[in-house]
Structures are given as C-alpha cells and as structure tokens.
Structure 1
C-alpha cells in the first residue's frame, strides 16, 4: 500500500525527467524528440494529480514536486522553444536578444504563477489564470507549425514578432484572474477534457498544428468572456 501511494510522486518525477530530457534534446536541435518528450511529461502531469485524488492522497511533498516539475517542463522548456523559434530569424527584427529576454520573462511569469498556485486556497475545480501546462502546449504548437511548415497559409512560421507577442501573451494570461474551466471537478472536468480533446483533434485535422495554439488562445478568451458576463 505504501508503494501504491508513491505512484503520484513517481509520475511527477517522470514529468521532471522527461522535461529535462526535452531541454537537452532541443539544445541539440532534436525538435521532434523534444516535443514527444514534452507530450510524455504532459501525460505524467495529468495522471499524477488524478491518481493522487483517486487515492485520497494529500501529500505536501507531492504538491511542491509538481510545481517544481512544471517549472522545468512548462516554464523553462517553453521559454527555450520560444527562443528556438525566434532564433531562425538571425539578425532580423526583433533581434535574438529581445526574443531571449521576453522568452526568459515568460519563464519567470510561469514560476510566479506556480508559486501562487501552491498557496491559493480558492476552489481548484477551475484554473485561476492560464495553467502553465496550457502555456507550454501553446508554445509547442507554434514550434510544431514552424518545424513542419504546416500553418495552412496563416504564416505563423514566418512571423518574427511572435517571439515577443507569444511570451507577452503568456505573461499576461498567467497572472490575470481568469476563471477557466479545469479538469479536477468530477463532472465538469470530464466534460472539459472530452470537449478540449475533440476540438483539438478536429482543429489539427482541419487546420494542422496551428490549431493547437489557436485553441489555447480561444480557451483564454473563454475566461475573458466569463469576466465580461460578471460585469454585465
């Protein structure tokens, strides 16, 4: 039984391991490998919390490990992906230095988001602000579109300013108090997960990899719409 209770932490450490390996892969220009490793990290990140809740485990160590692993996989790794996407433009506008600064700031914002999450006492059926894994998925989708050249005429693979726009978007989305549908509520979580999976698959089939970041942006606008409904 004690061994079973360590499964969530083992999955969290798997997330950290795969995220670190993805960083190493990206530094060696193994883009496809890095994205696959990040996908594996995402799966581990989803299931560590799900299994912990199923087993009724409230582990303070697990909470801290989860945020530390997410900081590497969905904070540092996406920042490196942003720079990798922007670096191909050489000495263009914006320059690599500016892209590096904004990419690094997105990682700092992710760290702040995770730190606040650890001490947040509000109900966790919802995400209060964009979750860092969602931000990582957005960046990975952009990298995927650029790496494959499949953006279906949207031109995102050749927009150097995205190296600044994307991290700025993430910095804002991580910090503003958006109430976004989460995956932890037994009923709403299942509906949200199925809906997101269906829309993502449909989008990828029809639009290609660009559907992934587009879906995350739409997800954020759902939160903005919820705020507007409260105001009016």
Structure 2
C-alpha cells in the first residue's frame, strides 16, 4: 500500500518535470510569455508534490531523486534557456558575438549551479526539525527569474532590459552555491505567523493559476530570500554567541 501511495507524489513530480520540458519547447518555438508562466506553474507543482508526500506519508528515495531531476529541468535548465533566448532574439545580443558568448556562459553557470546545489542537498544529512536550507533553493531561483520576466511582459518594459536577466541568473547561481541560511516554510510557534503563511500560500496558487499579479509573487519570493536570509544569519550569530558563553 505504501508503494501505491508513493505513486501519487511521484506523479505530481513527473508533472512538474513535463511542465519544465514544455517551457523549453515553448521557448524554442518563440512562445516566451507562455514559457515564463509554465516555469511558475512548475513552482506550484514542486511545492504540491512535497505537501502530498507528507500528507499521505508517502516519501520515498525514488521520489526524492525524481524531485531533484525535475527541479534541474524546471528551475535549472528552463529559466536559462528562456533568458538566453530572450536576450539574443529580442534583447539585442548576437549569439555568436562576445556579448552573446558571455550570456551563454552566464546562463550555463546558472544551470551548473542548480545541478551542484541539488547534488549537494542530496548528499547532505537532513535531521528532523531542520529549519534552514543551505543556499538559495533552486525552486526560488526559478520563481524569481520567472516572476521577473512575467513583470517584464505585463508592463511591456524595454527590450534592452532583457540582457540584465543573465546577470540575475548569475546572482541566483551564486546564491545557490553559497551556504547562506534560507529558512524553510514550516509551521511556526506563533499562530498569527502560520495564518500569514497559509494566506500567502493560497494567494500564490490563485495568482499562479490565474496568471495575475506577478509583482506580488516577485516581491513575496524576493522578500522571503532577502529577509529570511538576514533572519537566518542573525539566528546563527546568536547561537554562536550562546555557545561561547
């Protein structure tokens, strides 16, 4: 029965993987707007499979490995392909020029960083009650790059801004390779915080499904990374200070 239950979250994971491949296919066919939102749908599916696995108590080694491969495609490969295509096809860069080569290297670095981040996570031990990620999660990288592009499409911002997307990917790649403590979204001790988290989760799914308010989504995930990391650094500093006393 447990193996049958494990099929449910694994199916959701495979759906996320297929959405990531769909985003790449959409990019190759010039459907950049849909490729962008497909990456964001991958984010929703990625969060859903973990929730389903915990709800059904159906976590498995196979599911964990599938999740990593899905994340690499959806949040490591798809954003890099999309950003490079936009930068070279609409952003003024030429694929074979020095600037185009730099863009390719930057996007490639992002994909490699995502792969290293996922491999490092799989090799590490994760004790019960773990509260922080080590480095920016790949899902957050896909969410930030995807929402940034969704904002660009919504407001029809200048095409000359598109090459800056490569810089954003490089920054996210560095964050993935770092050891910055990024807090996990887990139940907290304070009821008000839990209500706030749940309300935002519901809002994120509604905005993602309806393809609206990318500004809110971008602000939410960026704020989570920036302020969450600051909180993690302060918490680590307090723990070191207490250990020295």
Q: TM-score, normalising length from structure 2?
A: 0.77
Aligned length: 224
Q: Secondary structure at the match of 1:57?
A: coil
| 2:91 and 2:161 in contact (8 A); partners too | no
Map residues 190-209 of structure 1 onto 2, 5 A cutoff.
Answer: 191-195=196-200, 209=214
Say whether the 8 Å CA contact 2:43–2:142 is kept in structure 1: no
Q: Check whether the contact 2:132–2:182 (CA below 8 A) recurs between aligned residues.
A: yes
Residue 44 of structure 1 deviates from its aligned partner by 2.0
Query: How far 1:117 moved relative to its partner?
Result: 1.2
- Bigger shift: 180-189 or 18-27? 180-189
Question: For structure 1, which segment, 65-74 or 125-134, has the greater mean C-alpha deviation from structure 2 after superposition?
Answer: 125-134
Checking the alignment, whether the CA contact within 8 Å between 2:83 and 2:162 is kept in structure 1 is no
Structure 1 position 228, deviation (Å): 4.5
Mean Cα deviation higher: 1-10 or 127-136:
1-10
Match of 2:148 among 128, 132, 142: 142
| 1:9-35 alpha-carbon deviations (Å, 9 max, x no partner) | 111111111111111011101123223
Determine if contact 1:113/1:174 at 8 Å carries over to the other structure. Answer: yes
Q: Is the 8 A contact 2:131 2:183 kept in 1?
A: yes
Q: CA RMSD in A?
A: 3.1
Matching residue of 1:205: none
Q: Which residue of 1 aligns with 2:136?
A: 130
Q: Cα deviation per residue 1:175-204 (whole Å; 9 max; x = unaligned)?
A: 2222223234476777535346669999xx
2:216 is the counterpart of 1:220:
no
What does 1:94-173 align with in structure 2 at a 5 Å threshold? 95-123=99-127, 124-150=130-156, 158-173=160-175
CA shift at 1:229, angstroms? 5.7
Partner of 1:3: 4
Note the C-alpha offset of 1:135.
0.6
> Take 2:219 and 2:160, find their aligned partners in 1: how far apart are those partners?
16
Is the 8 Å Cα contact of residues 12 and 45 (structure 1) preserved in structure 2?
Answer: yes
Q: How much has 1:211 moved relative to structure 2?
A: 4.8
Q: What residue ranges of structure 1 are gaps of 5+ in the alignment?
A: 203-207
SS at match of 1:180: strand
Q: Distance in 1 between matches of 2:197 and 2:135?
A: 16
Matched position secondary structure for 1:7: helix
The TM-score with structure 1 as length reference comes to 0.81
Q: Could you say which structure has the larger radius of gyration?
A: 2
Q: CA deviation at 1:73?
A: 0.4
Q: 1:91 to 1:174 in 2, by over 3 A?
A: closer
Unaligned runs of 5+ in 2: 208-212, 239-245
Compared CA separation, residues 64 and 184, structure 1 to 2 (3 A): farther
2: CA distance, partners of 1:94 / 1:220: 32
Determine if contact 1:129/1:173 at 8 Å carries over to the other structure.
yes
